[in-house]
Every structure is written in C-alpha cells, then in structure tokens.
Structure 1
Amino acid sequence: MQDQVASDFDVAEHELAGVLQQLVREKCEVWGEHFTKGMNRPADMPAGVCVRDEGLLVLGCPFGTSEFMERHFAKVLKKTQHLLDNLPRLEDPQSAGKFLRFCATPKFHYHLRTSLPFTRPLAEAAGKHSRALIQAACTLFFLGDVQTKTVRQLKLPLTEGGFGLTDAARIAPAAYFGANAVVLADVLARHEGAAWMPAHGRAGLEAQPWVQAIQAAYDHLLTHYPRSPQSDPLPDVRSLMLRPVGGLQAKLTQRIHQQESASLQAALNDMRDDAGHPTTDGARLQSCKGPGATAWLQAIPFSPATTISPDAFVWNVQFQLAW
C-alpha cells in the first residue's frame, strides 16, 4: 500500500508540474482505514508527508474513524451554538429570526452534501443541529416546551406554513444525492481506467464506497419519497455517470417538505378536542400556506415600513403556531 502511495505522489507531482504548480509534500497528509492510533510511521511512506492515524480533513469534510468525525462535527456545532446563544442579545426577534433561518439553519448543510448520509456520526450531529435550532426558536419567541406538532411546523418551509428551520437529518440523503449528481460524470471522464478503480468504466466507479452511498441515497429517496405525477423521474446513478443533472437537491428537498406538510396537515385535520369536536389546527395550518400569508416573516426590517415591533412579532409567531 505504501508503494502505491509513493507512486500516487509521483503522479500528482507530475500532473501539477504540467500546470506550473508544485506539490509540497510537507503540507500533505495521509490516512488509511487500516491505520491505528499510535502506529509507527510506515517505512516506505514518502518523506515529509504527515501520517494521520485517526483521519484527516479534505476541503473541510472529515474522513476517518467515527471518533474523528464526531470531534469535527462537534466543533462545527459549537460554532453554530455560539451564534444561537447570541441571537437573544439583539433584542429584535424579527432580525434574530432572519439570522436563525438564513445563517444558523444552513450551517451544517455543507456536511450533508459531502459526508456519507447514513453514518452514525453524521446522523447524530444532524439531529443535534436541528434540535438546537428548535430550542433557539423557543427561546427567541418564548414558546416554552412545544408539542411535536409545533416542532414539525417550525421545520417546514415558509411556503408550507412553517418557519424554514430545515430538519438536517431528514434532507441528508437528498443533499448527498443532489451534490454528487453533478460530479459523477466528470469523475468518470477524468479518471476512467485509473489504478484506484477495481474495474474499467462505470463498474469501476460503482465499486467505490462513496458511489455506493449515492445508490443507497437513491434507494432511500425512491422508497420514502416517491415522485408525484407532476414531478420529474429521479435519474439513477448510472445515468448520472453519463450526464450530470443540477438542481436535484432543491427539487428533492421540496418533495420531502411537501410530503411532511401533507402528513402534518392530515394529522391536524384529524385532531379532536376533549368533547370530540374537530379542532381548528388543520384550518390554521392551511391558512398559513395561503398567498401572502408569510409575507410578514419575509419582511426585512430596514425601514419603519417593514419593521415589526418585538412584542407584535413574537405574538404573530405564537399565533401562527397556535401556541
């Protein structure tokens, strides 16, 4: 294996030289699944290369042991939590709500697109991220201990009567599949026949663990979120190796949200009070989806005409959630 690593470095140096770039081995790191903590440096490892025994970061994405990934995700969540903890200091729930939706919510989405979607470290971190968003909303809008129906509504997009606090764990397969849908064809075109492929052509690429994860995400999406008659069919992995398809993450996320919205709507429509009479919860959520119903949530407080007082904004949030 070490001989292969040395050969790969030689190839990389040659290719970079072709574009007038230099590979600095002292800035390179190597990790392998068979590496163990505290291991001795392999004798044939290229000089100057740093050997990592637990994992390494590639463009900010962790590859390594579960413990290594957990530590990295914990650092990401800690930074997000710092933002969430400081939102109440604005003393402006309208502006704080914008930061919550546009800044805090997507902070973990990069890892959804670049990390294997069904691993325990990612699933746990995504769940923690979503729970932190809900807790921040409860603090900002004085919601206290919220019911499950309220949490589900908070996670829906504004167009579905929610507040846009997207559930990271729920959309992870869509994010991973959508991100890779635009690169598979390029990877095959550039690296077909490479030494790291166990077979030639598409079969060689399909054998890669990260591509197998794309297939798993595809199967998951087809099973749990079947397309409606109005939606386009989901391209399979083999077809994506021939032609990239952009925008799938957004389309799939919309499909997921629409299904969750329909499920919540049905549950609220079936709710009854203590006397057995239908509650108004279903009608309330339906009205939140109407044209212009969320305009007040989208208003940016840059002038008196678009600014809502803190008390009025909090009251509106609580009213929309039937708190």
Structure 2
Amino acid sequence: MKYSKLGLLLSCVIFSAASVAAPVQVSSFGNLPADREVNGFHGSFLYSDTGTVSGFDLPILGYSEMDQLNGFQLGLISGSHIRNGMNGAAFGLFNWHGGYDQGVNFSLANQVNDIDGVNLGIYSGATGTVHGVSLGAVTTSGNMYGLNVGAIANYTTGRVKGLNIAPFNWTGQKTDGVNVSVLNHTGDVKGVNIGALGNWSEGNITGVNLGIVNVSGDVTGLNFAPINKSGNVVGANISALNWSGDVTGFNFGAVNIANNVQGMNLGVVNVSNDVNGLNFGVINTTMKTSGTDIGIINYAGATNFQFGLVNVAEDLEGLQIGVVNVAMNAAVPVLPIANFHMTF
C-alpha cells in the first residue's frame, strides 16, 4: 500500500514537472528543452518548430514555425509560420499566419487568415477578414472593415466597409464607405466612388459616383462624370453623356438618353421614351409622351406644350409656338407661328 502511494506521488511530480512550460528555449533543427510551450524567451537559428510561445521570440537567419504566439516576435533576416494565429506583434522578412491575429504584422510580405489590427508590408494579404488597417503596395483580403491603402492595388473578394485608397480597387461584393482610385470596381455601393478614370459598379449605387466614366446598376444619388451609364436613377445625372433607364430627378448633359423621365432633361440633345416634366435643349425627342418641350427642334409622340423653331407632335393636346408647327391631329396639321389642338 505504501509503495502504491509512493508510486502515485512520484508519477504526479513527474507529470507536473513535464507539463510546466519552459522559461527559455533555443532551437536549431530541434528544441532545447524539448517542450512544446514556452513562457519567456524562444530563440532560433536557421530552422525551428515549436508549440506556443508566450513572451519574446527571436528567430535569426532562417525560417521558424510555431503553433501560436502571444507576445512579440522579431525576425532578424527571418520569416515565420504561425499556424494558429498571433496576439501581439510580429516583425520579420515574411509573416505567414493561420487562425486569428490580434495585433501588428510588419514585414515584406504578410499572409494571414483573419486579423484584428494592422497588416503592413509590400504585400499585405488576408484570406479571411481584416478589422483594422492594411497597408502595402498590394493588399488582398476576404472582407475589409477599416482602411485599405495600396500603392498599386487593393483586391477584396468580399465586402468593404470603410475606406479603399489605391490606383486600382477591386471589390467583389458590396462597399459601404469610400473608394478612391484611378479605377474602381465593386458590387453595390453605399457611399462614394471616386475614380480618376472611372467607376465600374456591377450593383446599385446609393450615394455619389465621381469619375471620367461611371458604369453602374441603379443609382440613388449623384452620377458625375463625362460619361454616365446606369440603370434607373433617382437623383441627378451630370455628364457630357448620360445614358440611363428611368430617371426620377434631373439629367444635365450634352446628350441625355433615358427611358422614362420624371423631372427634367437639360442638354443639347435629349432623347427619351416618356417625359413627365420638362425637356430643355437644342434637340428634344420624346418617343411617346412629353409634358413640355423647349428647344430649337422638338419632337414628341404626344405633348401639351412645345416652344421652338420647329415643333412636331403626333398628338397635340395644347399649344405649339414656333416658326414651323406640326400637329398631326390638329385641324390644320402645319401652321407657322402657332398651332393649337385640344380635345374637349
């Protein structure tokens, strides 16, 4: 009985000693001591593979691997692979992390999974979600919540909520915030797109598009560019060329092409299907019904009022004033000065 108790006691002592983390571990193709957990200092040369390091990790000239880092890693001409993420800061030639990072990564190249903090490198990549800041010549991420700054490009396969700044921004899904770039691509946008060359949105815009060429789905807000191509617009199109579906609001451009307009077309050439409001331009063409046409040449399928040099309407229910006035349903179809027809 005494021997059994003594054996049990010795076993507990040995197990407890074995389970205590090493305060110091040095590694080079092996670990001394051979523990898988370090609370304190871990130093390595050329190559190491250990478990969890809580404290200070110093890899020198080579490549180090570990399960997790809680603390600070300083790689001297060295890169690291941390399988289950990092809490703290990692500095080195490259950082390759799985799991979840909380803190700062600083290296020539960062490739992580999820991060809550800062990725800073020539290349800063995340296969998962970034909450915080990515800075690099090229940044990539799954989802981005925060600030993306790329000297060359930002590439996000998922969603961006925050600010994207780079010569080229590619966002696969939705943007809530601001894109500033030479060329922006995104899905839906709630916020602002500013593109020196253009904005290509495969979804809808709620906010502002500013660029040389804006291509988008529906727009609720403002399209401002030399060329705007969009779906339905609730708001304003300001451009040399506006080409839209239905417009509720205001078209201002050299050439305005729209389906149905509830509001106003102001341009050199206005071409619409239906206009419930005002056409004001040099040439106004409305295939079906127009409320009021003011221009040099006005044509409408049906209208209430036209003022111009040449006014043409298939169906006039009102007044034409001009040099030549053509109303196909009037008693006298062609008259100078004015023509009138009203069904009572």
> Is the shorter-chain TM-score for this pair beyond 0.5, marking a shared fold?
no
Q: Which has the higher contact order (CA 8 A, sep 6+)?
A: 1
Higher helix share: 1
TM-score (norm 2): 0.21
| Bigger Cα Rg | 2
